[in-house]
A = this chain, B = another copy of it.
Amino acid sequence: MDKIKVMIVGYGNVGRGVRKSIAANTDMELVGIISRGPERVKKELPEMPVFHIDDVDTWKKELNPDVAILCGGSKNDLPVQGPALAKHVCTVDSFDNHSCIPQYFAEMDKIAKNAGTSAVISTGWDPGIFSLERVLASAFLPGSNAYGFYGLGEKGGLSMGHSDALRTLDGVIDARQFTHAIPEAIERIRKGENPEFAAGDMHWRECFVVVEEGVDKAALEEQIKSMPGYFEPYKTVVNFISQEELDSKYAGFPHDGCVVASGTTGDGSKAMVEYRCAWESNPEATANVLIAHARGVVRMFKEGKRGAFTILDIPAAYMSQHSQETLLAKFM
């Protein structure tokens, strides 16, 4: 069988993850990378075909990909690159601005239908796997609420957005923010409650901050704790540490989380479902989920399905490397 020809769009942490993980997916091959800075990528990967994202005619002809995996960020890259690419090729992306998903879906659906392509949007682990688990929980336990928690392990989970927010503050050289779930809140749901939580009831935030000499730490700590939206609703702990300690103890992109829902069956028998995942590398986790969806979108396309889709629209078998025979015999 012909391998699925995958093109990476955007070569940051997620793009690197896709390149590294594609070898474990023997039905796929990476045919090339497109980027806004192809020179930088060529330097890192001299053997790899790399083209500028705007050279559409060139990459379409040279790479002829079955699917483009869009690895850019949700804030600036995907709102532009998603529509631009879906005009030419099937796409998969991890657009994760939850409140804008309906609007992004509508736009991508229209473009893909007009162009005769298929586009899977907003996949990864949340949105993505967690969205799927929320819908399954709701289907199997009607009336239940599914709650999402992040940072279950001892170290918590690195929040890129909150780390970036800390780095914008005057006097801050570097910073990383770890989110922690509040275990007692999870236990309440596991035991059958469906509480109304405020954000601060579910998580607390731990900041590791490297500052310039002479900074008023007490004032900065107060400034951090009162940042609206970011830290103000949460219990927040601020630790001032050295760059060396930050680099040695708090490196990498670990993250984890769970979706948990409880409800009842029949006349009121208790029931609980829970999905957990833990990733030493958050961007590589996103990459692995994107790769499975790239397989899925190619199959949807081959079946004649056009337009935008999410993980909720794709049968699990379409994301699997295995044949129907193997799935029936070994996985059911």
Task: Give the B-binding residues of A (Cβ under 8 A).
Answer: 16-17, 20-21, 24-25, 98, 101-102, 105, 122, 127, 129, 131-136, 138-143, 265-267, 269-281, 284-285, 287-289, 292, 295, 310-317, 319-322, 325, 327-329, 331-332
Contact = CB atoms under 8 A, between A and B. Distances in A.
Contacts of A17: 265-266
A129 B135 contact: no
A251 to B, nearest CB: 12
* Most chain B CB neighbours (cut-off 10 Å) among A266, A271, A289, A310: A266
Contacts of A105: 328
Q: How would you classify the secondary structure of chain A's contact residues: helix, strand, loop or mixed?
A: helix
Chain copies in the assembled complex: 2
A317 B102 contact: no
B265 A138 contact: no
Contacts of A319: 135-136, 139
* Most chain B CB neighbours (cut-off 10 Å) among A278, A281, A295, A312: A312
Contacts of A316: 132, 135-136, 139, 311-312
B267 A20 contact: yes
7 contacts: A21-B142, A138-B322, A266-B287, A270-B279, A273-B276, A275-B275, A312-B332
Nearest to A13: B266
A175 B328 CA distance: 34
Contacts of A101: 328-329, 332
Contacts of A310: 327-328, 332
A332 B275 contact: no
Contact of A288 (B140, B288, B314): B140
Contacts of A287: 265-266
B266 A20 contact: yes
A138 B275 contact: no
A278 B271 contact: yes
B265 A279 contact: yes
A273 B126 CA distance: 14
A64 to B, nearest CB: 25
A97 to B, nearest CB: 10
Given A285-B265, A314-B315, A315-B312, A139 B280 contact: no
Contacts of A266: 16-17, 20-21, 281, 284, 287
A311 B332 CA distance: 9
A321 B142 contact: yes
A288 B134 CA distance: 16
